[in-house]
Amino acid sequence: KKILTATDPVTGLKVTLAPPPNMTPFLEGCDRKLSFPPRFGEQNQEIYGDILGYDEAALAGFKEKGII
């Protein structure tokens, strides 16, 4: 059984993925459980604020203009 799974930490939804053509050591090592991808915009604060250095006012402006 080489099916992959990912579980959404917010909703608990479990997604089952088809087995890959080649089972890598990484997939075997993580017991075929993948992390769930981030939601759209979920990492805006981390990326624009923490990494790029924009302050809260700039982020609010970006959001107001529909940039993020």
34-46 residue pLDDT tens: 888 888 899 999 9
22 and 46 housed in the same domain: no
Residue 13 exposed, middle or buried by CB count within 10 Å (0-12, 13-18, 19+): exposed
- For residue 12, what pLDDT band results from cuts at 50, 70 and 90? very high
> Which domain does 60 fall in, by range?
39-68
Q: Do residues 33 and 2 lie in contact, with contact meaning Cβ atoms separated by under 8 Å?
A: no
Q: For residue 53, what pLDDT is reported?
A: 97
Q: Are residues 13 and 33 in the same domain?
A: yes
Q: Residue 42 is encoded by which pair of tokens?
A: 């979920």
Asked if residue 43 and residue 29 are part of one domain, the reply reads no
**33 plus 6 within the same structural domain:** yes
Residue 65 has pLDDT above 90, yes or no: yes
Number of domains comprising the chain: 2
Mean model confidence pLDDT for the chain:
91
Q: Is the pLDDT of residue 62 over 90?
A: yes
* Residue 29 and residue 2 share a domain: yes
**What's the pTM?**
0.55
**Residues 32 and 47 reside in one and the same domain:** no
